Structure 1
Amino acid sequence: MAKKTIQRFLPDHNKIKQQKSLKIFGKLLHDANLWHLNRRSARGAFSVGLFFAFIPVPFQMVLAAALAIPFRVNLPLSIALVWITNPLTMPPIFYCSYLVGVFALGQEQQPFHFEASWEWLAQSLTTIGPAFIVGSLICATLAAIVGFFGIDYLWRRSVNKAWQSRGQD
């Protein structure tokens, strides 16, 4: 059940191989283990994808692919999970990450108003930047751990249910 559910949402591996941003990995993308979906590859992919979803950097998909390849976890799932942070979800997720960083560093919350300018960005790196970065790393690590053990639990539960239903037939 878990495997079929996940496969429904995964993009086609041929489309992923043709992405221009992933061409830097060349023949490494031809490893069959990167495309196989099992419990081990799914839980690793959840960890990698969720970790980079909470890291506020450009090219999150490329970073997720760069980590999925040496760990030999499911590449499409790693890349797809990065899109948890999309233009709609980014503001609340990153604001919560900032709040976690404020709490972790024991700082006071800084009021800020977003402006699309280099001056605002430079000033923000000194005022809210440290709390935001620390909070993002904490949230990314927690999301990776919860994703790893959560998908492992759901996968095992799904397999157990399937075995139990076979015994009842």
Structure 2
Amino acid sequence: MPKKLIKRFMPDPQRIKDNKNLKIFGKLLHNPHLWHMNRHSVAKAFAVGLFFAFIPVPFQMILAAGTAILVHSNLPLSVALVWLTNPLTMPAIFYACYVVGAWLLHTPHKEFLFEASWQWIVDSLSTIGPAFFLGCGVLAVLFSILGYCGIQLLWRYNAIKAWQKRNGK
């Protein structure tokens, strides 16, 4: 079940290989183990993809792809999960990161209005930056662990159910 569901939403391997940003990995992208789907490679892909989805840096896809190559996770899934933070979801996710960071630092929430300018970013680093970056790190690790464990459990549950169905139980 999870394998079929994941395959339905996974990007085409050739599309990933042809991505201009990922060309820096060269022949490493042609390793067949990076494209294989099993419980372990998919669980590691969820961990990698969800981790980098919460890290507010440019080139998240490249970082996720490099890490996927290092840990032998499913590459397309690792890269696709980074897209969880997109222009529509980013404000809510990063606001949640700020709230978590402020809660952990025991600092009051500061009112701020977002502006798409370098000056606003530079000014905000000293005011909301510490809470924001702490929250990003904590949620990145938390969701990475939850994604890994969740896929392991879901995959195992479905394998047991399929086995029981096959044996007529």
TM-score band by shorter chain is: over 0.9
Is residue 84 of structure 2 the alignment partner of residue 81 of structure 1?
no
Structure 1 stretches (4+) deviating beyond 6 angstroms?
A: none
Cα distance, 1:116 vs structure 2: 1.9
**SS of the counterpart of 2:109?**
coil
Per-residue CA distance 1:47-81 (angstroms, 9 max, x = gap): 00000011111111111001000101100000111
Question: 2:152 is matched with which residue?
Answer: 152
Q: Which ranges of structure 1 fall in alignment gaps of 5 or more residues?
A: none
Residue ranges of structure 2 left out of the alignment (5+ in a row)? none
Shift of 1:111: 1.0
Q: TM-score, normalised by structure 2?
A: 0.98
AA at the equivalent of 1:68 = A
Equivalent in the alignment of 1:19: 19
Q: What is the 5 A alignment of 1:12-161?
A: 12-161=12-161
CA distance, structure 1, for counterparts of residue 50 and residue 27 of structure 2: 25
TM-score (norm 1): 0.98
What's the CA shift for 1:118? Answer: 2.0
Give aligned-pair identity as a percent. Answer: 59
2:127 is matched by which residue type in structure 1? T
Does 2:163 match 1:168?
no
Q: How many correspondences in the alignment?
A: 169
Q: Distance in 1 between matches of 2:66 and 2:129?
A: 26
Q: Name the counterpart of 1:6.
A: 6
Q: Take 2:118 and 2:39, find their aligned partners in 1: how far apart are those partners?
A: 44
Mapped to 2, the partners of 1:119 and 1:85 lie a distance apart of 23
Further displaced range: 139-148 or 79-88: 79-88
1:135 offset after TM fit, Å? 0.2
SS at match of 2:86: coil
Within 2, Cα distance between the matches of 1:121 and 1:138?
Answer: 21
